Chains A and B, each alone.
Chain A
Amino acid sequence: MTCLHCGEKTAPGQDFCCPGCEAAHAAAASVTKGSGFSRLANEMDEGGFNLTLGVEGIHCAACIRLIENALGSEDGVTHARVNMSTNRVNMSWTGAREYGDHLATVVSNLGYRLHPLDKAADAVDEETRSLLRAIAVAGFAAGNMMLISVGLWSTDSETMGMATRDLFHWLSALIALPTVLYAGQPFFRSAIAVLRQGHTNMDVPISIAVTLACAMSLFEAFRHGEHVYFDSAVMLLFFLLIGRYLDARAKGKARETATDLLSRLSGMATVFEDGQAQQVPIKELKAGMLVLVAAGENIPADGTVEKGRSEVDRSLITGETLPEKLEAGQEVFAGTLNLSAPIQVRVSKATEKSLLSEIVRLMEVSEQANARYVRLADKAASLYTPVVHAMGALTFIGWWLFMQAPWQVSLLHAVTVLIITCPCALGLAVPVVQVLASSRLMKTGILLKSGDALEKLAEVNTVIFDKTGTLTIGHPELIADDYSNADMRLAASLAAHSRHPLARALSAAYDGELMELEVTEHPGRGLSAEIEGWEMRLGSRAWCGDQTAAQQDNALELWLQVGDDVRARYAFSDRLRSDAADVIAELKRRHIDVRLLSGDRTAVVSDVSKQAGITSYKAEVSPVEKRDYLEALAREGAKVLMVGDGLNDAPALAAAHVSMSPSSAIDITQNTADIVFQGEALMPVVQAIDVAHRSTRLVRQNFGLAILYNIIAIPVAVLGYVTPLVAAAAMSGSSLVVIMNAFRLNLKRRG
């Protein structure tokens, strides 16, 4: 007999080797992943508790329904609501705080993974909300003022009478002033903040133009003049707010995923103390604690295996696909996956010192270094501001000193220059193209996570791929062969009972009916079951294979044995993504340097690179070496796109100029990457680069159009020929031209 918990030999008739294992086994069986969340609940004013958690795996109406109904049918639940857009569930209940653990368990028992949320994410939400409110107000004001302005533009004061015109002007003021005060705040606030630090940005000229336009219009209205620009000021705000909102939403999305990452790292671990299992936040784990890790669970901290025999998937750290055997006394690392049996781990380092955290820290350092990138729009803005203000000042001085005009008239012309050089086109040029490009990419399954990803992607001249999970599928697949159907059915029925990657690959390859079997899993060896007195085994070569058969290749294998008869050998390999070679050829056609960087063994890496057609490769590279390699490339001036999926790639992804990862990658890597792509194909890498090139071209064209417009409009304004009608038309016209040009991105069918 062997111990049910750790696999050690036991006394005859005993299921466990020691009382500790027995208690641990019972604890591991009763503990579910829902526990420990109730401490995050908020106490509500009217009694009871409210808790919001992140949920993974919500896909359709049935999921929403299932979760809400399951929670709703529990006693004491006053409210349960799933938010599909943000993948959250919100629930309220009356009674004890701890009841929340039970509710969380209800949801996780349905098969949805829960994770705690970071509260910082709400601030982002509030920002986009207030921008949306500002847009609504500005839109309302702009629409109603147009109604009045059209009347002003279509006739002159002789026809409508001075009194009517003044009434119209004052009505405009009545609508415009509160609107500017409210809707202009995002710009005013940012302008003041920047000015305090002694810099300048796009918001400074915007704020000055709007404020001056309003002040001057008010002055004109008082002296019954005709140069009233309220409508232009409000329209300017309206268009700019739209651009600002699109920008904020794109950034908010990126930050949302980033905070999710941090909260996921801070899950719960089962600590075994004084014969009792307790849920402790992973952050609070200390050296010397004994942690239970169930099969299929991530190991929460670095440590040594105290008891148990299992297999560990280290692909997270090393990129190595083969599961490794794990025995008592061996070292394990946080973040690796315990595959086949529960183990007890003695923690050797507090979580923040673990290898995993070390990698995260590396990543953060690289990311900070990367944040220094200056976007094209900001470069344009830093040029635009001084030029426009100098122009305005020169106009004022010119009219006042050289044309001997009264200062009021000179100021009027100067303000007109500020208004007509409307930064609309500049403010809209980038966000509109970006939103169109990202929605276009989204349709093909490519998710842009950072605002400047497209711009950086267009500059790329080197692409570095990771091997496992990026160039290849990332998990073993059965190599097609003529296996007998009966054997296959037997093997698949056994394999269906295990989470081992090879067993999963085997069951995935078989789509017929399965047999009902009572299967025992032998950690590190395989699976066995009894049928009509015959013992069937599915497992390693040493355990049930043909010892004498020659080891043919590097392939992973499973053997099937019935009685003493070795029936079949199933070989597996991690195959290339189907279009990998095409993608690399396409990249080379675009004169992009392609390289392969992997933590895997040299033999495997050279094999893969040959198949994919990559000439330059480097194998057996550690995460730190990967990052150093990328930094060295960057120093040589290369703009690198790093494509990777493992945790071992994360620091390299952060160090790269721009990065991509497949959606099959682990969360932390997806969060680091600027772009995430879905599906089995690798072609999104090429598609994203193409769209990036095209959209960057459009952005440049838009800047060109804006400059062209200003070259025509500014002299007219400087010379004093601009009326309110001309200002409004020119301004709106330039914005519309820029928006329409951006839409050309979707007109082109190729790519």
Chain B
Amino acid sequence: MEILLYLIPIALTLGLIGLAGFLWSMKNNQYEDLDGAAHRILFDDEDDEPQIPSNNRGKV
């Protein structure tokens, strides 16, 4: 049963990483414009990161 001492923390950590990733992507405006993102894939250039200035979030 000692294996539990490793497995449970590992399971929780993996879950937390997933959760953190999701919250980060939300905070980073990744879900702001899903329709636009679907179309932007057609652009040739590489400039496709969301550029809303951080100090302006919430005001926008």
Residues on A lying within 8 angstroms of B by beta carbon are 42, 44-46, 50, 52, 60-61, 64-65, 79, 81-86, 90, 92, 122, 126, 129, 132-133, 136-137, 140, 143-144, 147-148, 160-161, 164, 167, 171, 175
Cα-based distance from A137 to B19 in the complex (angstroms): 7
Contact B18 A64 (CB under 8 A): no
Cα-based distance from A137 to B26 in the complex (angstroms): 13
* CB under 8 Å from chain A, chain B span 1-60: 1, 4, 8, 11-12, 15-16, 18-19, 22-23, 26, 31-36, 39-40, 42-43, 50-53, 55-56, 58-60
A-B contacts, 7 listed (Cβ < 8 Å): A50-B53, A79-B52, A82-B36, A85-B35, A132-B31, A137-B19, A164-B4
Shortest A499–chain B CB gap in Å is 31
Known: A79-B52, A84-B36. 10 other contacts (CB 8 A): A50-B56, A61-B39, A64-B36, A83-B32, A129-B26, A137-B19, A140-B19, A148-B8, A160-B1, A164-B1
| Chain A residues within an 8 Å CB radius of B50 | 81
Contact A133 B35 (CB under 8 A): no
Instruction: Name A119's closest neighbour in chain B (CB-CB).
Output: B59
Q: Please provide the 8 A-B residue pairs with the shortest distance between their CB atoms, ordered closest to farther.
A: A84-B36, A61-B39, A140-B19, A84-B35, A61-B42, A83-B33, A85-B35, A85-B33
Cα-based distance from A52 to B52 in the complex (angstroms): 11
Instruction: Name B16's closest neighbour in chain A (CB-CB).
Output: A140
| Chain A residues within an 8 Å CB radius of B53 | 44, 50, 79, 92
Contact A171 B39 (CB under 8 A): no
| Chain B residues within an 8 Å CB radius of A86 | 32-33
Contact A132 B43 (CB under 8 A): no
Contact A136 B60 (CB under 8 A): no
| Chain B residues within an 8 Å CB radius of A167 | 4
| Chain B residues within an 8 Å CB radius of A84 | 33, 35-36, 39
**Most chain-A Cβ atoms within 10 A of its Cβ — which of B18, B56, B58?**
B56
Shortest B37–chain A CB gap in Å is 8
| Chain A residues within an 8 Å CB radius of B56 | 42, 44, 50, 92
Cα-based distance from A52 to B15 in the complex (angstroms): 37
Contact A64 B26 (CB under 8 A): no
Shortest A124–chain B CB gap in Å is 13
Cα-based distance from A707 to B35 in the complex (angstroms): 40
Contact A143 B15 (CB under 8 A): yes
Cα-based distance from A132 to B15 in the complex (angstroms): 17
Cα-based distance from A148 to B11 in the complex (angstroms): 10
| Chain A residues within an 8 Å CB radius of B58 | 122, 126
Contact B11 A50 (CB under 8 A): no
Of B8, B31, B43, B60, which one neighbours A65 at CB under 8 angstroms? B43
Contact B60 A52 (CB under 8 A): yes
Contact B55 A44 (CB under 8 A): yes
Contact B43 A81 (CB under 8 A): no
Of A64, A85, A129, A144, which one neighbours B15 at CB under 8 angstroms? A144
| Chain B residues within an 8 Å CB radius of A46 | 55
Cα-based distance from A86 to B4 in the complex (angstroms): 48
**Known A50-B60, A92-B53: A144·B12 in contact at CB below 8 Å:** yes
- Majority DSSP secondary structure for residues of A touching B: helix
Cα-based distance from A107 to B16 in the complex (angstroms): 44
Cα-based distance from A144 to B16 in the complex (angstroms): 10
| Chain B residues within an 8 Å CB radius of A61 | 39-40, 42-43
Contact B19 A136 (CB under 8 A): yes
Shortest A88–chain B CB gap in Å is 8
**Known A61-B43, A143-B15: A83·B55 in contact at CB below 8 Å:** no
Instruction: Name A151's closest neighbour in chain B (CB-CB).
Output: B4
**Known A44-B55, A46-B55, A61-B43: A83·B16 in contact at CB below 8 Å:** no
Shortest A36–chain B CB gap in Å is 20
Contact A140 B15 (CB under 8 A): yes
Shortest A268–chain B CB gap in Å is 22
Cα-based distance from A143 to B14 in the complex (angstroms): 12
Contact A85 B34 (CB under 8 A): yes
Cα-based distance from A143 to B34 in the complex (angstroms): 27
| Chain A residues within an 8 Å CB radius of B43 | 61, 65
Of A45, A85, A147, which one neighbours B36 at CB under 8 angstroms? A85
Shortest B22–chain A CB gap in Å is 5
Shortest B31–chain A CB gap in Å is 8
Instruction: Name B60's closest neighbour in chain A (CB-CB).
Output: A52
Shortest A172–chain B CB gap in Å is 11
Shortest A392–chain B CB gap in Å is 33
| Chain A residues within an 8 Å CB radius of B15 | 140, 143-144
| Chain A residues within an 8 Å CB radius of B32 | 83, 85-86
| Chain B residues within an 8 Å CB radius of A122 | 58-60
| Chain B residues within an 8 Å CB radius of A81 | 50-52
Cα-based distance from A382 to B50 in the complex (angstroms): 45
Cα-based distance from A86 to B51 in the complex (angstroms): 16
| Chain B residues within an 8 Å CB radius of A136 | 19, 22-23, 26
Cα-based distance from A96 to B56 in the complex (angstroms): 18
| Chain B residues within an 8 Å CB radius of A147 | 8, 11
**Most chain-B Cβ atoms within 10 A of its Cβ — which of A64, A79, A167?**
A64
| Chain A residues within an 8 Å CB radius of B23 | 133, 136
Instruction: Name A174's closest neighbour in chain B (CB-CB).
Output: B12
| Chain B residues within an 8 Å CB radius of A132 | 26, 31
| Chain B residues within an 8 Å CB radius of A129 | 26
Of B1, B34, B40, B59, which one neighbours A42 at CB under 8 angstroms? B59
Shortest A176–chain B CB gap in Å is 13
Contact A79 B39 (CB under 8 A): no
Shortest B10–chain A CB gap in Å is 11
Of A45, A52, A90, A144, which one neighbours B55 at CB under 8 angstroms? A45
Cα-based distance from A81 to B12 in the complex (angstroms): 38
Cα-based distance from A17 to B55 in the complex (angstroms): 54
Shortest B27–chain A CB gap in Å is 9
Cα-based distance from A83 to B26 in the complex (angstroms): 16
Contact A64 B40 (CB under 8 A): yes
Shortest A15–chain B CB gap in Å is 47
Shortest B40–chain A CB gap in Å is 7
Cα-based distance from A84 to B37 in the complex (angstroms): 8
Shortest A47–chain B CB gap in Å is 11
| Chain A residues within an 8 Å CB radius of B59 | 42, 50, 122
Instruction: Name B34's closest neighbour in chain A (CB-CB).
Output: A85
**Most chain-B Cβ atoms within 10 A of its Cβ — which of A46, A83, A86, A171?**
A83
Shortest A168–chain B CB gap in Å is 9
Cα-based distance from A148 to B8 in the complex (angstroms): 9
Cα-based distance from A160 to B4 in the complex (angstroms): 12
**Known A83-B32, A84-B39, A85-B35: A171·B8 in contact at CB below 8 Å:** yes
Cα-based distance from A83 to B19 in the complex (angstroms): 26
| Chain B residues within an 8 Å CB radius of A148 | 8
Instruction: Name B18's closest neighbour in chain A (CB-CB).
Output: A140
Contact B51 A79 (CB under 8 A): yes
Cα-based distance from A140 to B58 in the complex (angstroms): 26
Cα-based distance from A353 to B50 in the complex (angstroms): 44
**Most chain-B Cβ atoms within 10 A of its Cβ — which of A61, A129, A143?**
A61
Instruction: Name A83's closest neighbour in chain B (CB-CB).
Output: B33
| Chain A residues within an 8 Å CB radius of B8 | 147-148, 171
Cα-based distance from A519 to B25 in the complex (angstroms): 56
